[in-house]
């Protein structure tokens, strides 16, 4: 049995009632939610407020999607739309460039980062692991990661933090990066930022925090060369 309040009419079964509410011009029926409404404005109000409906405000006919994800991917691919800036771009390439420069998106995997320096640090993980430990055969994507492995990670060659510091201070380049004040062992040859560990100083040189780098001829590149010979 079913009863339609709006029409004050009884029906022999629920199926017949639904059939009536779906087909009668007096009713507006939401097919997705299987719910009848008494007027077009009631139906529209339902669509705007329901979590089962997601309207694209950029489409002329307000296309309706069943989930937030579907709406997001529609707006991204069709409108090249950036949600956080509420802005459309002409091409997907422009949206991508915008995401990379304004939202710190990784161009390799598409993840987003809080700051450009976080992104920069993350990008190192996509670099090929082509830097082989001087003490064993393990490979790393950055020299600072290799040093960290030597300092703390129990490299099979049994080199450790103290030995790295000793070798670093023995190197003839050490006058360029040794730190003579406080508890610090090293400092950046360019900006004099102090570091306890060689891995920290190398990470600083690998980042864009300052001009210092591991380019050939720079003090830290010469240190790495010295370290390789000492551990051979
Ligand atoms: Zn009815
Ligand atoms: Zn609905
Ligand atoms: Zn749309
Ligand atoms: Zn944006
Ligand atoms: Zn990435
Ligand atoms: Zn090793
Ligand atoms: Zn520096």
Ligand 6 midpoint to CA 232 (Å): 12
Band of the pLDDT at 24, cuts 50, 70, 90? confident
**Ligand 5 centroid – CA 101 distance (Å):** 14
Average pLDDT over residues 164-181: 95
pLDDT score for 207: 85
Distance 110 CA to ligand 7 centre (A): 29
* C-alpha 28 to ligand 3 mean position (Å): 24
pLDDT in tens, 173-199: 999 999 988 899 999 999 999 999 999
* Distance in angstroms (rounded) separating the CA atoms of residues 89 and 95: 6
C-alpha 221/C-alpha 194 separation (Å) is 18
| pTM confidence score | 0.59
**Which CATH fold topology does 1-49 show?**
Double Stranded RNA Binding Domain (3.30.160)
Ligand 5 center to residue 124 CA distance, Å? 9
| Ranges of CATH 3.30.160 domains, the chain | 1-49
Q: How does the average pLDDT of the chain come out, rounded?
A: 92
104 confidence band (pLDDT: 50, 70, 90): very high
Instruction: Report how far ligand 4's centroid is from the alpha carbon of 98 (Å).
Output: 6
DSSP string, 159-197: --HHHHHHHHHHSTTHHHHB--STT--EE-TTT--EESS
Span 199-216, pLDDT tens digits: 999 999 998 889 999 999
Mean pLDDT of 86-112: 95
Nearest ligand (C-alpha, residue 122): 5
Tell me whether residue 203 is exposed, middle or buried, using C-beta atoms within 10 angstroms of its C-beta: 0 to 12, 13 to 18, 19 or more: buried
List Cβ neighbours of 228 (8 Å cut-off, separation of 6 or more).
Answer: 134
List the alpha helices (DSSP H) in 37-160.
40-49, 68-79, 92-102, 116-123, 143-152
């Amino acid at each position: 049995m079913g009863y339609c309040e709006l029409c004050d009419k009884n029906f022999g079964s629920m199926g017949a009632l639904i059939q009536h509410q779906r087909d009668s011009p007096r009713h507006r029926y939401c097919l997705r939610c299987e719910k009848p409404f008494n007027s077009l404005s009631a139906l529209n109000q339902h669509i705007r407020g329901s979590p089962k409906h997601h309207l694209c405000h950029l489409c002329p006919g307000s296309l309706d999607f069943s989930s937030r994800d579907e709406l997001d991917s529609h707006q991204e691919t069709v409108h090249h739309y950036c949600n956080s800036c509420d802005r459309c771009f002409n091409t997907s390439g422009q949206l991508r460039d915008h995401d990379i420069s304004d939202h710190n998106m990784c161009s390799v995997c598409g993840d987003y980062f809080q700051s450009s320096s976080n992104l920069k640090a993350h990008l190192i993980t996509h670099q090929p692991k082509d830097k082989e430990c001087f003490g064993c055969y393990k490979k790393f994507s950055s020299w600072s990661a290799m040093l960290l492995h030597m300092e703390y990670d129990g490299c099979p060659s049994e080199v450790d933090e103290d030995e790295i510091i000793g070798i670093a201070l023995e190197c003839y380049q050490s006058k360029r990066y040794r730190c003579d004040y406080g508890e610090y062992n090293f400092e950046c040859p360019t900006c004099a930022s102090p570091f306890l560990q060689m891995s920290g100083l190398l990470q600083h040189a690998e980042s864009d925090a300052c001009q210092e780098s591991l380019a050939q001829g720079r003090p830290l590149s010469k240190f790495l060369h010295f370290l390789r010979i000492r551990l051979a």
